[in-house]
Amino acid sequence: MATVAEQLVKSLHEQGVRYVFGIPGGPSIPYMEAMRNTGLEFVLVSNEQSAGMMADVCGRLTGVPGVCHATFGPGATNLATGVGGALLDRSPLIAFTTEVKDADIGRRVQMNIDHQALYRPITKWTTRLSKNNFKETLTRALEIAVSEVPGPVHVGLPSNIDGEILGSDSLVPKIKNGFIPRPDPVLLEQAAALLKKAKRPILAIGLTVARLGLHNSMRQFISQNNIPVLLTPMAKGVLPETHPLYAGVVFHAQSDLVASIYRKADLVIGIGYDSVEFNYESWMPMVPLVHIDTQSVDIPAEYDVACDISGDLAQSIAYLNSLSLPVYEWDVSQIQANKSQVFQALMPKSNTFNPSDAIRILQEELPQDGIITADVGAHLHLLGQLWKASEPNRFIMTNGWSSMGFGIPAAIGAKLCKPASMVVGITGDGGFLMNCGELLTARRLGIHLVILVLCDRNLSLIEIKQNWKQVPQYGTQLYEGDYFAADKFLGVPVLTVHEEGEMKAALQKAFSASGPVIVEAFVDGSVYNKLVTRSYK
């Protein structure tokens, strides 16, 4: 015999959940007590938004649903931003919120809004738990969260059910990932015929390949065929940038130069390509498309979808690896020369310390197995193309959702899941302001990570877009003078740098520290104007 609170926590622990992120309300106390007694750690955050982001990253890195919790009303609305990120960035997550008891549904009650209506558009499923539906509902929630395509599920916890008694058979055993249908063999044969007929096909590899861990089988296909490879930003690490067939990242900085390669293609093969990151039509030429993923293609009707294959992606890639394909007309030396031109353009020469300089030095100093998390802003467009990731899950970003404030909580989530890796969260001075309170969370937890703040005093990405529209810069200046103007922020050491030598020394000092460290890098943001791509065609 056990209470709802006890069986809920034990069931989560059974799945492999080790952290619950959130801010409690009064009705949360029995669940927190159950966590304390079960060995499941409740991580108090400074803002519920961060709780969702930390849970998102835990879900990505472990495959076990990340878990977050918030209380009535404003707690639930704050949490919603992080939960929406898990939906569009494809991370398994369970979001619990405290809701009013059944008798108060629809009444005028303090802090009461309809959480089910709130979460319906930003989750795969939303429901309320009760004593009578406990095992069935929680099992279904966990199964839906990890089933293809993974994402968040919201479970409302009525405020008066925590102490209700359940039977001993109510514990939810470890659930298995759902079945993914086999790809249609006829369509696979059609794709093979198109590949054999093409003269200059190009591969566009998306985040599904990375999150399913299919990079090695994907690399096998690439090594057997001279086909140039494009990556979406969240697929970074599927193929090392040093590979001779790596052509670049679509959507991010200088991808108009990357277009010099893909404009020549006579066939696009999208593998694991999820258009939640970047629509096909925003970049690809008007040539036939072969789309191979776990879900069907999403593209306007005027494009020629020659073959749309959905189903088990591992089986589709295995089929591709069995093919004997012709030698295509691509000149590998031209692909490499164009890639060199892209990387050269990403390192503009200036008399000032600029973001490219800071990123280059970080790449030199960060250990090979280090992890970076990237916030949203102009610097993300630069990072997405410039940063070199040899394996998936070493470059963590949000692109489907793209919420500012992601960098710091993502770094904390990554460090908790990968404690042996050096983790660096990279953010702009605008994004830092949104969730900087989580540095106190990192300090309290005693975790060692580095937060690199690229300070250019403005919302640079908006300034760039104002320039494109030929309107005056307005409403984008964050501050004048110093940013931190102190050697500590919330008790966390701040190392300030203005040039390359200081940057290198600060990183070395930060990496040898024992707790969280901030590196405040003042950079010349004007170079972003030359780097951020306006047209991808």
Asked whether the CA dihedral 108, 112, 117, 121 is positive or negative, the reply is positive
SS3 at position 487: coil
Tell me what pLDDT residue 177 has: 85
**Which residue has tokens 């007694």?**
37
377: nearest Cα among 471, 458, 478, 483: 458
439: nearest Cα among 493, 370, 507: 493
With contact defined as beta carbons under 8 Å apart, do 18 and 40 qualify?
yes
Digit-by-digit pLDDT tens for the chain (537 residues) are: 899 999 999 999 999 999 999 999 999 999 999 999 998 999 999 999 999 999 999 999 999 999 999 999 999 999 999 999 999 999 999 999 999 999 888 888 888 899 999 999 999 999 999 999 999 999 999 999 999 999 999 999 999 999 999 998 999 999 988 889 999 999 999 999 999 999 999 999 999 999 999 999 999 999 999 999 999 999 999 999 999 999 999 999 999 999 999 999 999 999 999 999 999 999 999 999 999 999 999 999 999 999 999 999 999 999 999 999 999 999 999 999 999 999 999 999 889 999 999 999 999 999 999 999 999 999 999 999 999 999 999 999 999 999 999 999 999 999 999 999 999 999 999 999 999 999 999 999 999 999 999 999 999 999 999 999 999 999 999 999 899 999 999 999 999 999 999 999 999 999 999 999 999 999 999 999 999 998 898
Give the separation between CA 310 and CA 191, rounded to whole angstroms: 12
165: nearest Cα among 1, 22, 288: 1
**HSE of 92, CA atoms in CB hemisphere, 13 A:** 26
Max CA distance (Å), the chain: 71
380: nearest Cα among 362, 411, 361, 402: 402
Tell me what pLDDT residue 509 has: 98
With a CB cutoff of 8 Å and minimum separation 6, the contacts of 150 are 59, 90, 91, 92, 211
Strand partners, 153: 94, 125
Tell me what pLDDT residue 200 has: 98
Residue 179 CB burial class (10 angstroms; 0-12, 13-18, ≥19)? exposed
Tell me what pLDDT residue 211 has: 96
With contact defined as beta carbons under 8 Å apart, do 360 and 350 qualify?
no
Burial 99-121 (b: 16+ CB within 10 A, else e): bbeeeeeeeeeeeeeebbebbee
With contact defined as beta carbons under 8 Å apart, do 53 and 431 qualify?
no
Q: Cis peptide leading into 149, omega within 30 of 0?
A: yes
Tell me what pLDDT residue 428 has: 97
Tell me what pLDDT residue 178 has: 83
The DSSP H or E segment spanning 42 is strand 41-44
Query: Which tokens hold the place of 497?
Result: 């740098």
Strand partners, 458: 477
